[in-house]
Homo-oligomer: A and B are copies of this chain.
């Protein structure tokens, strides 16, 4: 346990993230969470208001991290679209690997958010996808990328990346930058115009 210097609230967030990931939000009880933290179920409520607040915080924090990474990666206007897309892919992989458990929750448990949070969340995700779509469309218009349908290409690209939390294990044979590089290569070689 290296959680010694975390605040109690951060400990709760972290433990909840791990449980929501492995057992799912709905199947995780507050009593289970409490037991994992070495306390009683009722005591958790002096730190949080509801179970859903935990999920809400995880989902929206990750959304912010994905956006921050993307904005930084795609901001450089001097760069062509293809290398900016590569940087955006690497940023996405960095967020995924830095916080695998939270990413898995972000990707799979958001549907347990109640309204209006759920609709807000989906709007954020759509905006994020649109960023990739536009980058790909820009690269296609400039002849840098081969993508007859940028929307389709963006979905497939993000799909390949988002499956990562389901097999990635920290400390495995691939390091995060290694994974980012390999994924970007595998995906972009399929997008780049050949022999041009």
User: A interface vs B, CB < 8 Å?
Assistant: 22-24, 26-27, 108, 111-112, 146, 149, 152-153, 155-156, 158-164, 167, 174, 182-183, 186-191, 194-195
How many of these chains are in the complex? 2
What residues of B have a CB within 8 angstroms of the CB of A24 in the complex?
Answer: 24, 26, 111-112
Q: A186-B191, A194-B194 are in contact. List 18 more A-B contacts (CB 8 A).
A: A24-B111, A24-B112, A26-B27, A27-B112, A149-B182, A152-B174, A156-B160, A156-B183, A156-B187, A158-B163, A159-B159, A159-B161, A159-B162, A159-B163, A160-B163, A186-B190, A190-B190, A194-B195
Q: In whole Å, how far is A99's beta carbon from the nearest beta carbon of chain B? A: 19
What residues of B have a CB within 8 angstroms of the CB of A26 in the complex?
Answer: 24, 26-27
In-complex Cβ contact of A187 among B167, B174, B190 (8 A): B190
What residues of B have a CB within 8 angstroms of the CB of A160 in the complex?
Answer: 156, 159-160, 163
Residue in B closest to A107 when the chains form the complex, CB atoms: B166
